[in-house]
Amino acid sequence: MAPSSRALSPHVPIIASDRLERGRQAAPQVFERLREMIISLALAPGTVLNRLTLQQEFGLSSTPIRDALLRLQEDGLVDIFPQHATVVSPIDLTLAQQAHFLRRSLELEIVRSLALNPDPRLIAKLQGFLAQQQTLMEMEDFEAFSAADQAFHQHLYEAARMNDLWLLVRNRSGHIDRLRRLHLPSPGKAQDIVQHHRLIVQAIAEGNAQDAQEHLRHHLSGTLAHVDEIRAKYPSYVRG
């Protein structure tokens, strides 16, 4: 039997002012929209996704909605109960830990390679991200801050010419990203992120690969070190 959860109301603004792009397949766009809402916790764990409501919101037939939900199920972001309901899944700590291990392993090598060959253009770009994050932190715009945080790390992969690995990490990070979103509003968390990013950029600029790796390792460990308090605060959101 499916868990008891609140249903997705017909009034939930899934599409908002944005329309699906013509010329692109609908299912991937629906997948991205729903994934973004799940990661941002606009669709919290336990939310029931009604397929008929989704069809009405997106103005689509059942097939692209079904395909999008199946992709979300593959990523562990929804649980599908056949002939009953589709529910946004709880945050799975095992999957979060696996995603953290993958990302840490890759990014330790990425910052090392970037520090061994510092590029002033990269440093300038990263400093631009830092300035943006500082502004968003002061505004307490956590949604935009989270997006800027992701953009900072994505640019590290792009600078190292590891774009496909960023896509791999992103696809595996739905659970750890939701944990981070729960943790981000905690006092001092955003400040810690900005400071860690600043230290990573400084180490890369100075060509100090060891320090770049050490700062990155400390940076990425922050949320998992606070799992117990996150779970205590949001017991229905986390399993494992």
Domains of the chain: 26-89 (1.10.10.10), 92-239 (1.20.120.530)
Q: Which two tokens stand for residue 206?
A: 């100075």
Task: Tell me the CB-side half-sphere exposure of residue 209, using CA atoms within 13 A.
Answer: 11
User: 82 Cβ partners below 8 Å, 6+ apart?
Assistant: none
pLDDT in tens, 65-98: 999 999 999 999 999 998 778 999 999 999 999 9
Report percent pLDDT > 90 for the chain: 84
Q: Which of 13-27, 105-119, 133-147 has the lowest mean pLDDT?
A: 13-27
Q: Compute the chain's Rg from CA coordinates.
A: 19
Residue 91: DSSP 8-state: E
Average pLDDT over residues 178-192: 95
CA distance 38 to 78: 9
Q: What is the pLDDT of residue 80?
A: 95
pLDDT in tens, 212-224: 999 999 999 889 9
Q: Which two tokens stand for residue 146?
A: 């989270």
CA distance 133 to 191: 9
- Kindly tell me if the per-residue pLDDT of 8 is higher than 50: no
- Kindly tell me if the per-residue pLDDT of 209 is higher than 70: yes
Kindly tell me the burial class for residue 77, based on how many C-beta atoms sit within 10 Å of its own C-beta (0-12, 13-18, 19 or more): buried
CA distance 38 to 175: 10
pLDDT tier for residue 15 given thresholds of 50, 70 and 90: very low
Q: Which two tokens stand for residue 19?
A: 């329309």
Burial 152-186 (b: 16+ CB within 10 A, else e): bbbbbbebbebeebbeebbebbbbbbbbbbbbbee
Q: What is the pLDDT of residue 240?
A: 77
CA distance 167 to 106: 12
- Kindly tell me if the per-residue pLDDT of 4 is higher than 80: no
- Kindly tell me if the per-residue pLDDT of 10 is higher than 50: no
pLDDT tier for residue 9 given thresholds of 50, 70 and 90: very low
- Kindly tell me if the per-residue pLDDT of 5 is higher than 90: no
- Kindly tell me if the per-residue pLDDT of 17 is higher than 60: no
- Kindly tell me if the per-residue pLDDT of 123 is higher than 60: yes
Q: What is the pLDDT of residue 18?
A: 62
